[in-house]
C-alpha cells in the first residue's frame, strides 16, 4: 500500500448526497479479477453519455461535458469533495480502487458509509470527515476559485485552505499508523498469530460445533 503523509491537491467538488458505490463503479466492471485499472470507469454512467462495458477503449467514448469530473478545471484533481453518506450501498472495494486509480488520494465529506470508509484505508486513500458547515464552506470556495487546492497533513490531522484556515479531523491511531507507513495489515496481524491460535483452541473447546 502507498503511504499517505502529506498532500497538496486540487479539489473536485461532487455536489450530491448519498453517492452509492454502484454509481462510483457500475456492476459490469466488477467482473474483472484484477484490482487495478478501474479509474477510467469511475462514475461511468455519469461521466460518459454512452453505455460502458469492460474492455472498451474509453478514450473513444462520448464524454458528458456536464459532469463535474469532466470540467477541464478539475483535471488532475487529487481531493474529492463530497456530501453526506458518501459510498453507501454495496461493499465493493472496486469503489475505492476506482477512486484511487483515477488519481484521488483523499475524499472529504460530512459522513461516509461504514464499509466504504473502512475499505479506503486498505488502499492508501484517506477519507476525511469534516462538519457539514466546513464542507459547505469548502464547496463554496472550490466552486468559486479555479485551481483551488487543499493541503492535507495526516501526521497533524489537518486540512488547510489556501487562505491558511486549518480544520482538524479524527482518525484512529491504528489506521493512522498503517496509512503513514503504508503497512501491510495482514503482516501486522500475523505478528499476533500465537494469540489467535490460543483463542481459537479455547473456542474450539467451548463450541466444538463451530469447527466441523
Partner 1 sequence: MSAQSLYDKLWQSHVVREEADGTCLLYIDRHLVHEVTSPQAFEGLRLANRKPWRNHSIVATADHNTPTDHWDQGIQDPISRQQVETLDANIRAFGALAYFPFKDERQGIVHVVGPENGATLPGMTVVCGDSHTSTHGAFAALAHGIGTSEVEHVMATQTLVAKKSRSMLIRVDGQLGQGVTAKDVALAIIGKIGTAGGTGYAVEFGGSAIRGLSVEGRMTLCNMAIEGGARAGMVAVDDKTIAYLKDRPFSPKGEQWDAAVEYWKTLVSDEGAQFDSVVVLKAEEIEPQVTWGTSPEQVLAVNGRVPDPAAEADPVKKGSYERALQYMGLTANTPLTDIPVDKVFIGSCTNSRIEDLRAAAGIAKGKQKAANVKLVLVVPGSGLVKRQAEAEGLDKIFIAAGFEWREPGCSMCLAMNADRLEPGERCASTSNRNFEGRQGQGGRTHLVSPEMAAAAAIAGHFVDVRTFA
The 8-class DSSP code of residue 139 comes to H
Report phi then psi at 88, rounded to 5. Answer: -75, 165
Residues 39-78, one symbol each (x = binds partner 1 by CB under 8 A, - = not), give: ------x-----x--xx-----------------------
Closest CA to 188 of 121, 101, 98: 121
| Residue number, 20 or 153, with CB nearest to partner 1 | 20
Least Cβ distance, residue 196 to partner 1 (angstroms): 6
Which residue shows C-alpha cell 462538519? 131
When binding is defined by CB under 8 A, the residue of 57, 163, 164, 209 that contacts partner 1 is 209
Residues 7-36, one symbol each (x = binds partner 1 by CB under 8 A, - = not), give: --------xxxx-x-xx--xxx-xxxxxx-
Least Cβ distance, residue 37 to partner 1 (angstroms): 12
Q: Is 113 in the site for partner 1 (CB under 8 A)?
A: yes
Least Cβ distance, residue 111 to partner 1 (angstroms): 6
Q: Is 208 in the site for partner 1 (CB under 8 A)?
A: yes
Q: Is 172 in the site for partner 1 (CB under 8 A)?
A: yes
Report phi then psi at 100, rounded to 5. Answer: -70, -40
Closest CA to 36 of 97, 113, 118, 121: 97
CB 97 within 8 A of CB 116: no
| Residue number, 144 or 186, with CB nearest to partner 1 | 186
The 8-class DSSP code of residue 202 comes to H
| Residue number, 105 or 175, with CB nearest to partner 1 | 175
CA distance 29 to 41: 8
Cell triple for residue 18? 448519498
Give the residues across from 13 on adjacent strands: 81
CB 131 within 8 A of CB 109: no
Q: Is 205 in the site for partner 1 (CB under 8 A)?
A: no
Cell triple for residue 43? 462514475
Report phi then psi at 204, rounded to 5. Answer: -60, -40
Q: Is 85 in the site for partner 1 (CB under 8 A)?
A: yes
| Residue number, 22 or 143, with CB nearest to partner 1 | 22
- In the complex, which residues of this chain contact partner 1 (CB under 8 A)? 15-18, 20, 22-23, 26-28, 30-35, 45, 51, 54-55, 83-85, 88-93, 96, 111-115, 118-119, 122-123, 172-175, 184-186, 189-190, 192-193, 195-196, 199-200, 203, 207-212
Amino acid at each position: 500500500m502507498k503511504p499517505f503523509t502529506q498532500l497538496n491537491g486540487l479539489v473536485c467538488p461532487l455536489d450530491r448526497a448519498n453517492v452509492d458505490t454502484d454509481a462510483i463503479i457500475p456492476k459490469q466492471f466488477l467482473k474483472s479479477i484484477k484490482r487495478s485499472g478501474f479509474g477510467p470507469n469511475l462514475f461511468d454512467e455519469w461521466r460518459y453519455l454512452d453505455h460502458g462495458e469492460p474492455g472498451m477503449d474509453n478514450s473513444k467514448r462520448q464524454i458528458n461535458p456536464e459532469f463535474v469530473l469532466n470540467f477541464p478545471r478539475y483535471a488532475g484533481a487529487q481531493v474529492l469533495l463530497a456530501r453526506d453518506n458518501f459510498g453507501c450501498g454495496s461493499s465493493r472495494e472496486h469503489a475505492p480502487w476506482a477512486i484511487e486509480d483515477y488519481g484521488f488520494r483523499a475524499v472529504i465529506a460530512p459522513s461516509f458509509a461504514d464499509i466504504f470508509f473502512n475499505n479506503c484505508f486498505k488502499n492508501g486513500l484517506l477519507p476525511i470527515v469534516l462538519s457539514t458547515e466546513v464542507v459547505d464552506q469548502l464547496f463554496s470556495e472550490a466552486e468559486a476559485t479555479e485551481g483551488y487546492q487543499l493541503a492535507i497533513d495526516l501526521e497533524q490531522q489537518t486540512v488547510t485552505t489556501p487562505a491558511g484556515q486549518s480544520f482538524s479531523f479524527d482518525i484512529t491511531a491504528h489506521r493512522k499508523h498503517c496509512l503513514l507507513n503504508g503497512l501491510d495489515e495482514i503482516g501486522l496481524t500475523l505478528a499476533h498469530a500465537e494469540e489467535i491460535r490460543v483463542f481459537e483452541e479455547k473456542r474450539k473447546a467451548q463450541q466444538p460445533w463451530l469447527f466441523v
